[in-house]
């Protein structure tokens, strides 16, 4: 149970796959690059485990080390310290002096640029990983079946550059999957597609991954994508792993301010910690909006300076009833701007010097210029160090 | 009665003279025949040098008729790399498989003389009766290369052509009317007689005439024949004669002094066929060998006892003073040429 | 589903020692470094060694005394400073003319829809095939201020009244012009391949941002081609410094003395032995310049992922429509081809049917004879020389190509070998360009006369010497080409399970093919007419066409030399056209 609990989510995260196993284990990876102005520490001791069958996402802004981590797993980069074990096989260990080259790791990889070979046809591209390991007939069959699975059948003889972006991406996927690897690595595979296609491919990818039962490590900087696809997300920042968790948890209860900021729209209000208010997890803060009760974040270590955080969709507009605080977490604000987004209204509330973003159902959107009162439930507020 | 006695004495005397002459000739030709027999036993001779293949082909034909049994193997190349290879190879203990090394001018073979790699042979002078023998009988002359002043006869008449070296400084030749071969060999040779200072002065003055200067005698000759320039210096007389024969409007004058280069052959001490080498080198110097070379290529000895050909004729008629390249003048030609080279970009 | 801790097996860690595994890649890496180092260090050693020997009338290995006298002579001679200044100006001027012209032509042929561009692309290369020996007389006849054809033409067209000019080629600017023109074929070859392999999306973005073709080219295309352009620049700087063709043809008359002139005097003055010491000291200076340039190159082309243009996303760049500039562009190229290609060739052709050179006139027309061609046809020695030349060209091309590909891979991809090894290989493969050919020849004589390998006196020693020299060009071209191939294309092959050699064979080499064809052709064409090293190293049975032409020329047989030259040019041109055609085919269906 401990192992599973470490995965912070129990079995539901594994979508009912029979046995629970750790497929990929990454420990204390350190990677250093020689940069233009001296050494760059790209990875500073990254550790995480990926369970069999899960879609594990590395999420973060560019330069955070997520692609480097992925490439270390692939074997395209060699860290200077740490250990990587894939499917019970140590493919890298600094201490033991082990390094398995990428061509021997039996991992499928989809590159950001797709890396489809322009001088080969779709068929040749996808058949490439099978070269030498199967008969002609078998190759034809396997390639044919995966091309069909990805709706690429009629394109089999077309030369790679004559495909659209979406088609190329699917070819890259087919190529990565045809040799039935245990692990699939994806480096921002959807970032070069247009928005509509991206959404489409998102679900396609997920369903493929599930039906093949393949363990996937996915790298992206797009939080929406990460939230939609992942079984678990690892948020990375500046070469370190900040936190790992299931999407819903990370979104609602981030342990770090950076996670909070990255995973969705966020409101941060400067505040001062007052006193412990009741339950151990809760804290009372004095903010520019007034007194708010909020949960402690894991990052919170005490001290005075604090940041109060809550998401736009958790701002509830109250009726203009002059009833006083019902447990605090209320404030008054002026409506500065209302932007109609279709499914919701994006409302900018101004509270003195502070601008807050709120997401309101269009039917309840106030008019610009009005004064409103709002509250945020304490469960939805989190305090981070300031 | 007295007339009979006179006649008899005259007859006897002439017989005696003839006889002894014959005897001398005979002893000479005996020596040659002996050499030939030794050469025939060796069967071949390997000669490296700039001479054209066609010359050797003709020579082989003639040799086969008169002195059969010797095969000529030739390697046509400019002598400089050959000399270096011979030195390098012998230094490595692997003597080159060459018997005769020939050069276009004597100076090129100097390194071999310095390293004492050539075998002397007195028979060239003694038996073959050749006068172009140098460096203590180590070299025998093959042909001469006369360096005259050549001119385009369509552009200037024989009357107007420069007659002396100093004439080249006449202002009427200013402005790309003269072409000079870049290595300035004729002037270097002039320097051996005039002294370095005077030769350098002359060159400097000529350089103010804005001449065209290129490297390569053939380019020079062709520029003249093509009417690019009126006067050419640094091309050989035999080249001009050859062009004339083909119809080009070129001619040459023999200024005084007239520089004459010597192309010579030397036999290497490590020659595998020494007798064939000596024989062949000597034979090439005889009037017969000369004639074959001249007919095939237009080159021959142009000064000295065995001189033949148009160039030799003109030299004999005009009688300019000759500056001949010999082993005695090596060093000074070299030194002056180096100095002159500095005018055109040499560093040392 | 609950799982108890004990039911979870601790993952077994199977160790796999890695460092000392002998993979094909590390083996070939070691071999490449060894072979290239060997090839380069032999002449390099001779250069440095000879430069500290006193070699007046001695060969470098004949004396044991060391001396700095050669360097002292260079430093103290009053001619040195003017020589260096003239060399600087000459080099800068030639490159300023030749490189932009080559870039422009490469751009027009490869990236625009200019009419007749495939023909033009092939014809541009033809001047490479003309032995420089023979082009001398052609250029004199063309460019002489008074009688040269080009000047006569220009005077007529521009209505000049003087009888001289307008182009006086016997000046520094004239020299720059002619030398610049001479650079164009090689530079074009190097650069055209890079233009061909551009990622269209890079330029499309610029076009969508509203910039026209010229702006896009200047701001997007050229900067991304920086490694290729810099490689070309550095290579040709050394080539111009080191080559003596134009200074020998025009420099003496113009009284311009450059570094190669000084080297020429040290090595070819026909006063006995070459002064190898002085020549080597001068060569060592060129070496220093080259090292400096390579250092600059490495600084400017670090982080070469930025320069990748073949990514697999798009491959064939679009052809820019020139609109109303179309005809002007073609006319411009045609003019270039007429001046640089056709005229000299016609002069040579004319020379080959004349007993001696004379401008066309009633007289000379009467002298036209095709005897030379008839003679050549039946001359056995010519056939043999041609055969030798072909073998030599093939051997040198293949060897250079293989080495160039390997060197470029290890330089560009680095891998675990690290930046130091990459820089070493890149620099070392370039250095032989700085060593005068005659010094390379001497080095080879010296080493191989003793060496157990029995190549001395055969074609193979000449091939080896040529490979050493041509590796500089080959590795520059291959490196520039490989930089354009995105590393991910090879990584994808690795991830697909292909070992290193298979990746090389099925992914890298096919993508490099256009550039490789160019390298092959370039080396073949140059090997066919290379003279200096052949003269040092050949034997009666390894006579090649270039030495034959040389002998004929020296012996005054101008017509015969010209005939053989024409035959050589025809063969080389056929080779070039064949290669371009192959490249064209590949382009249209792949």
- How confident is the model over C498-535, as pLDDT tens digits? 999 999 999 999 988 888 888 899 999 999 989 888 88
In whole angstroms, what is the distance from residue A113 CA to residue C532 CA?
49
C20 confidence band (pLDDT: 50, 70, 90):
very low
CA distance C315 to chain B (A): 50
Q: Which pLDDT belongs to residue C311?
A: 63
User: How many helical (H) and strand (E) elements, i.e. helices and strands, does chain A have?
Assistant: 9, 21
Between C350 and C96, the more confident residue is C96
User: How confident is the model over C432-467, as pLDDT tens digits?
Assistant: 888 888 788 888 888 887 777 777 878 999 999 999
Q: Which pLDDT belongs to residue B55?
A: 92
C320 confidence band (pLDDT: 50, 70, 90):
confident
Residue B156, pLDDT > 50, answer: yes
Residue A307, helix vs strand vs coil: strand
Burial label, B159 (beta-carbon count in 10 A; 0-12, 13-18, 19+)? exposed
Between A323 and A165, the more confident residue is A165
Structural domain boundaries enclosing B287? 2-145+262-311
Here the CATH number for the domain that contains residue C160 is 1.10.3720.10
* B180 and B272 in a common domain: no
Residue B45, helix vs strand vs coil: strand
State the CATH class of domain A265-385.
mainly beta
Average pLDDT over residues A226-241: 93
Here the CATH number for the domain that contains residue B130 is 3.40.190.10
CA distance C286 to chain A (A): 30
* B190 and B174 in a common domain: yes
Q: Residues of chain C with pLDDT > 90: what percent?
A: 23
> C386 near C459, Cβ under 8 Å?
no
Q: What's the whole-number average pLDDT of chain A?
A: 85
Q: Nearest 5°: phi and psi at C197?
A: -100, 55
State the CATH class of domain A2-106+181-257.
alpha beta
The DSSP annotation for C315-369 comes to -SPPPBP-GGGHHHHHHHHHHHHIIIIIHHHHHHHHHHTSSS---SSHHHHHT--
Provide the H-helix boundaries in C413-458: 418-430, 437-448
* B172 and B128 in a common domain: no
Helix (H) or strand (E) holding A59: strand A55-59
Every domain range in chain A assigned CATH 3.40.50.300: 2-106+181-257
Nearest to C341 by CA among C225, C562, C565, C182: C182
Residue A94, helix vs strand vs coil: coil
**Which residue of chain C comes nearest to A3, CA vs CA?**
C5
Average pLDDT over residues A24-51: 87
Q: Directed axis angle between helix C259-268 and helix C276-300, to 10°?
A: 150
C6 confidence band (pLDDT: 50, 70, 90):
very low
Q: Which of B35-44, B253-262, C315-324, C530-539 has the lowest mean pLDDT?
A: C315-324
* B229 and B185 in a common domain: yes
Does B183 lie at the interface with C, CB-CB under 8 angstroms? yes
Average pLDDT over residues A337-352: 89
For the ranges A301-305, B16-20, B180-184, the one whose mean pLDDT is highest? B180-184
Between A237 and A1, the more confident residue is A237
Every domain range in chain A assigned CATH 2.40.50.100: 265-385
* B137 and B70 in a common domain: yes
Q: Which pLDDT belongs to residue B28?
A: 65
Q: Which pLDDT belongs to residue B71?
A: 93
The CA-based angle B2-B8-B14, given to 5 degrees, is 135
Structural domain boundaries enclosing C92? 78-369+379-589
How many separate domains does chain C show? 1
Q: Which of A76-90, A103-117, A324-338, B175-189 has the lowest mean pLDDT?
A: A324-338
Chosen from C77, C252, C273, C565 to mutate, greatest number of chain B CBs within 10 A: C252
Considering only the beta carbons, identify the residue of A34, A129, A160 that sits closest to C312.
Answer: A160
Chosen from C25, C300, C495 to mutate, greatest number of chain A CBs within 10 A: C495
Nearest to B188 by CA among B4, B6, B344, B294: B344
Q: Which pLDDT belongs to residue A275?
A: 61
The CA-based angle A299-A301-A305, given to 5 degrees, is 95
In whole angstroms, what is the distance from residue C358 CA to residue B224 CA?
9
B73 contacts C253? CB cut-off 8 A: no
Average pLDDT over residues A241-257: 91
In-domain check, residue B174: yes
Q: Directed axis angle between helix C132-143 and helix C558-589, to 10°?
A: 100
What's the DSSP call for residue C572?
Answer: H
Window 80-139 of A: residues touching C by CB (8 A cutoff) are 85, 88-90, 93, 96-104, 106-109, 111-119, 128-129, 131, 133
* B280 and B227 in a common domain: no
* B281 and B141 in a common domain: yes
Identify the bridge partners of residue A85 per DSSP, sorted by sequence position: A25, A90
B52 contacts C555? CB cut-off 8 A: yes
In-domain check, residue B176: yes
CA distance C463 to chain B (A): 18
Peptide bond into C224 cis (omega under 30): no
Average pLDDT over residues C556-572: 89
A2 confidence band (pLDDT: 50, 70, 90):
very low
Identify the bridge partners of residue B47 per DSSP, sorted by sequence position: B74, B100
Q: Which pLDDT belongs to residue A352?
A: 83
Average pLDDT over residues A161-173: 88
Residue C314, pLDDT > 60, answer: no
C147 contacts B348? CB cut-off 8 A: no
Average pLDDT over residues C86-91: 95
Handedness of CA C483, C488, C491, C496 (dihedral sign): negative
In-domain check, residue C277: yes
* B211 and B156 in a common domain: yes
* B135 and B10 in a common domain: yes
* B165 and B214 in a common domain: yes
In-domain check, residue B332: no
Residues of C in contact with A85 (CB under 8 A): 11, 13
CA distance B253 to chain C (A): 20
Q: Which pLDDT belongs to residue A5?
A: 45
Average pLDDT over residues B150-179: 92
Residue C313, pLDDT > 70, answer: no
Handedness of CA C354, C358, C360, C363 (dihedral sign): negative
In whole angstroms, what is the distance from residue C525 CA to residue C580 CA?
13
Considering only the beta carbons, identify the residue of C13, C19, C312 that sits closest to A116.
Answer: C312
How many separate domains does chain B show? 2
Residues of C in contact with A185 (CB under 8 A): 495
Residue A373, helix vs strand vs coil: strand
Average pLDDT over residues C376-396: 91
What's the DSSP call for residue A188?
Answer: S
Q: Write the CA distances from A28 to A79, A81, B304, integer angstroms.
A: 10, 7, 96
For the ranges A326-330, B230-234, C111-115, C419-423, the one whose mean pLDDT is highest? B230-234
For the stretch B297-309, what's the b/e string if a residue is b when 16 or more beta carbons lie within 10 angstroms of its beta carbon? bbbbbbbbebbeb
Q: Write the CA distances from C257 to B337, C189, C240, integer angstroms.
A: 17, 30, 13
Q: What's the whole-number average pLDDT of chain C?
A: 83
Q: Which of C60-64, C88-92, C212-216 has the lowest mean pLDDT?
A: C212-216
Q: Which of C54-68, C153-167, C290-304, C314-328 has the lowest mean pLDDT?
A: C314-328
Average pLDDT over residues B313-339: 89
Q: Which pLDDT belongs to residue B16?
A: 66
In-domain check, residue C12: no
Average pLDDT over residues C103-130: 84
Residues of A in contact with C495 (CB under 8 A): 74, 76, 102-103, 107-109, 176, 185
What's the DSSP call for residue C113?
Answer: -
User: How confident is the model over B59-96, as pLDDT tens digits?
Assistant: 999 999 989 999 999 988 877 888 888 888 888 888 77
User: How many helical (H) and strand (E) elements, i.e. helices and strands, does chain B have?
Assistant: 13, 12
Average pLDDT over residues C231-239: 88
Q: Which pLDDT belongs to residue C317?
A: 62
**Which residue of chain C comes nearest to A132, CA vs CA?**
C498
Between A49 and A364, the more confident residue is A49
B39 confidence band (pLDDT: 50, 70, 90):
very high
Window 251-290 of B: residues touching C by CB (8 A cutoff) are none
Residue B315, pLDDT > 50, answer: yes
Average pLDDT over residues C553-563: 84
Nearest to C444 by CA among B92, B48, B268: B92
Residues of C in contact with B338 (CB under 8 A): 269, 271
Q: Which pLDDT belongs to residue C1?
A: 36
**End-to-end Cα, chain A, rounded Å:** 36
B331 confidence band (pLDDT: 50, 70, 90):
confident
* B157 and B96 in a common domain: no
* B14 and B126 in a common domain: yes
A323 confidence band (pLDDT: 50, 70, 90):
low
C partners (3+ CB pairs within 8 A) are A, B
Q: Residues of chain A with pLDDT > 90: what percent?
A: 40
Nearest to B337 by CA among C265, C55, C275, C83: C265
Average pLDDT over residues B275-303: 92
Beta-strand pair A345-351/A354-360: antiparallel
Q: Which pLDDT belongs to residue C346?
A: 87
């Amino acid at each position: 149970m401990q192992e599973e609990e470490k995965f912070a989510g129990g079995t539901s995260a594994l979508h009912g796959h029979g046995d629970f196993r750790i497929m990929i284990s990454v420990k204390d990876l350190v990677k250093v690059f020689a940069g233009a102005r001296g050494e760059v520490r790209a990875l500073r001791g990254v550790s995480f485990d990926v369970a069999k069958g899960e879609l594990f996402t590395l999420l973060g802004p560019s330069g955070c080390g997520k692609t480097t981590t992925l490439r270390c797993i692939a074997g395209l980069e060699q860290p200077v310290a740490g250990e990587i074990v894939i499917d019970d096989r140590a493919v890298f260990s600094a201490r033991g002096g082990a390094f398995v080259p990428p061509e021997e790791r039996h991992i499928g990889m989809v590159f950001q640029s797709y890396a489809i070979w322009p001088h080969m046809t779709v068929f040749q591209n996808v058949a490439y990983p099978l070269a030498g390991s199967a008969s002609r007939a078998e190759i034809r069959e396997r390639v044919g079946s995966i091309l069909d699975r990805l709706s690429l059948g009629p394109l089999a003889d077309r030369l790679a550059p004559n495909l659209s972006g979406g088609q190329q991406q699917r070819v890259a996927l087919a190529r990565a999957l045809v040799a039935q690897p245990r692990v699939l690595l994806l480096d921002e595979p959807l970032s070069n597609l247009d928005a509509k296609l991206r959404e489409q491919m998102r679900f396609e990818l997920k369903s493929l991954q599930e039906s093949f039962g393949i363990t996937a490590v996915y790298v992206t900087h797009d939080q929406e994508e990460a939230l939609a696809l992942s079984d678990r997300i690892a948020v990375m920042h500046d070469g370190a792993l900040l936190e790992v968790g299931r999407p819903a948890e990370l979104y609602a209860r981030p342990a770090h301010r950076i996670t909070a900021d990255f995973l969705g729209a966020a409101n941060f209000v400067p505040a001062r910690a007052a006193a412990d208010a009741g339950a151990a997890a809760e804290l009372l803060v004095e903010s520019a909006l007034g007194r708010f009760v909020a949960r402690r974040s894991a990052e919170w270590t005490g001290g005075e300076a604090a940041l109060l955080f809550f998401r736009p969709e958790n701002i509830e507009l109250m009726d203009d009833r002059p009833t006083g605080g019902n447990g605090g977490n209320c404030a008054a604000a002026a409506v500065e701007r209302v932007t109609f987004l279709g499914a919701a209204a994006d409302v900018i509330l101004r509270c003195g010097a502070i601008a807050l973003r709120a997401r309101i159902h269009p039917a309840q959107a106030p008019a610009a210029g009005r004064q409103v009162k709002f509250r945020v439930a304490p469960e939805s507020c989190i305090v981070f160090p300031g | 009665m007295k007339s009979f006695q006179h006649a008899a004495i005259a007859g006897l005397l002439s017989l005696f003279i003839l006889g002894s002459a014959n005897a001398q000739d005979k002893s000479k030709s005996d020596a040659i025949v002996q050499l030939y027999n030794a050469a025939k036993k060796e069967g071949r001779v390997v000669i490296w040098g700039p001479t054209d293949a066609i010359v050797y082909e003709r020579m082989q034909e003639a040799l086969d008729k008169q002195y059969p049994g010797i095969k000529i193997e030739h390697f046509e190349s400019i002598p400089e790399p050959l000399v270096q290879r011979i030195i390098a190879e012998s230094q490595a203990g692997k003597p080159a498989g060459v018997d005769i090394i020939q050069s276009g001018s004597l100076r090129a073979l100097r390194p071999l003389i310095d390293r004492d790699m050539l075998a002397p042979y007195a028979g060239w002078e003694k038996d073959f009766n050749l006068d172009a023998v140098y460096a203590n009988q180590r070299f025998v002359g093959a042909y001469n290369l006369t360096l005259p002043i050549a001119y385009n006869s369509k552009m200037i008449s024989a009357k107007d052509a420069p007659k002396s070296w100093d004439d080249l400084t006449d202002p009427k030749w200013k402005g790309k009317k003269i072409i000079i071969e870049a290595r300035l060999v004729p002037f270097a040779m002039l320097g051996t007689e005039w002294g370095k200072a005077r030769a350098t002065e002359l060159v400097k003055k000529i350089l103010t005439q804005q001449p065209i200067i290129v490297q390569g005698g053939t380019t020079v000759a062709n520029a003249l024949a093509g009417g690019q320039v009126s006067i050419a210096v640094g091309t050989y007389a035999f080249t001009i004669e050859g062009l004339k024969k083909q119809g080009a409007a070129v001619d040459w004058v023999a200024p005084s002094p007239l520089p004459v280069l010597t192309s010579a052959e030397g036999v290497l001490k490590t020659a595998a066929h020494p007798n064939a080498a000596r024989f062949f080198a000597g034979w090439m110097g005889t009037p017969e060998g000369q004639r074959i070379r001249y007919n095939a290529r237009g080159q021959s000895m142009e000064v000295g006892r065995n001189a033949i050909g148009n160039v030799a004729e003109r030299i004999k008629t005009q009688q300019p003073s000759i500056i001949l390249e010999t082993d005695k003048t090596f060093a000074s030609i070299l030194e002056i040429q180096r100095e002159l080279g500095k005018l055109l970009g040499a560093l040392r | 589903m609950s799982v108890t801790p004990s039911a979870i097996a601790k993952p077994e860690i199977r160790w796999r020692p890695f460092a000392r595994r002998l993979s094909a890649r590390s083996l070939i890496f070691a071999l490449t470094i060894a072979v290239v180092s060997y090839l380069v260090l032999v002449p390099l050693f001779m250069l440095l060694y000879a430069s500290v020997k006193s070699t007046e009338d001695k060969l470098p290995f004949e004396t044991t005394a060391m001396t700095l006298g050669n360097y002292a002579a260079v430093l103290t001679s009053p001619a040195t400073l003017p020589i260096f200044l003239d060399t600087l100006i000459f080099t800068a001027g030639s490159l300023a003319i030749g490189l932009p012209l080559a870039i422009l032509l490469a751009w027009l042929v490869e990236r625009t829809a200019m009419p007749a561009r495939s023909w033009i692309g092939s014809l541009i290369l033809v001047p490479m095939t003309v032995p420089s020996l023979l082009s001398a007389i052609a250029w004199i006849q063309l460019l002489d201020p008074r009688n040269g054809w080009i000047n006569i033409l220009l005077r007529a067209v521009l209505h000049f009244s003087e009888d001289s000019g307008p182009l006086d080629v016997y000046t520094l600017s004239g020299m720059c012009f002619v030398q610049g023109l001479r650079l164009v074929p090689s530079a074009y070859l190097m650069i055209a391949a890079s233009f061909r392999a551009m990622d269209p999306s890079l330029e499309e973005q610029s076009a969508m941002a509203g910039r026209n073709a010229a702006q896009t080219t200047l701001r997007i295309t050229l900067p991304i081609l920086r490694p290729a352009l810099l490689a070309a620049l550095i290579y040709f700087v050394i080539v111009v410094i080191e080559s003596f063709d134009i200074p020998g043809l025009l420099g003496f008359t113009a009284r311009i003395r450059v570094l190669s002139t000084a080297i020429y005097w040290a090595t070819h003055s026909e006063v006995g032995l070459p002064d190898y010491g002085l020549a080597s000291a001068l060569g060592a200076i060129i070496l220093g310049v080259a090292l400096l340039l390579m250092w600059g190159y490495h600084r400017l082309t670090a982080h070469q992922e930025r320069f990748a243009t073949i990514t697999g996303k798009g491959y064939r760049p679009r052809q820019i429509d020139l609109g109303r500039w179309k005809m002007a562009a073609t006319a411009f190229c045609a003019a270039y081809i007429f001046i640089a290609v056709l005229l000299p060739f016609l002069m040579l052709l004319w020379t080959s049917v004349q007993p001696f050179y004379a401008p066309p006139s009633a007289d000379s027309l009467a002298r036209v004879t095709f005897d030379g061609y008839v003679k050549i046809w039946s001359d056995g020695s010519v056939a043999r020389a041609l055969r030798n030349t072909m073998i030599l060209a093939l051997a040198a091309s293949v060897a250079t190509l293989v080495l160039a590909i390997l060197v470029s891979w290890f330089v560009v991809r680095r891998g675990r070998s690290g930046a130091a090894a990459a820089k070493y290989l890149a620099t070392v493969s370039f250095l032989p360009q700085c060593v005068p050919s005659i010094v390379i020849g001497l080095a080879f004589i010296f080493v191989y006369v003793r060496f157990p390998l029995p190549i001395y006196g055969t074609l193979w020693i000449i091939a080896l010497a040529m490979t050493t020299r041509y590796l500089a060009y080959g590795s520059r071209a291959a490196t520039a080409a490989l930089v354009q191939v995105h590393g991910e294309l090879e990584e994808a092959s690795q991830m697909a399970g292909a070992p290193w050699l298979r990746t090389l064979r099925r992914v890298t080499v096919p993508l490099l093919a256009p550039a490789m064809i160019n390298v092959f052709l370039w080396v073949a064409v140059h090997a066919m007419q290379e003279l200096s090293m052949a003269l040092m190293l050949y034997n009666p049975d390894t006579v090649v066409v270039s030495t034959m032409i040389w002998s004929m020329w020296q012996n005054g047989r101008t017509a015969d030399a010209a005939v053989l030259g024409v035959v050589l040019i025809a063969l080389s041109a056929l080779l070039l056209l064949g290669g371009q055609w192959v490249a064209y085919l590949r382009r249209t269906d792949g």
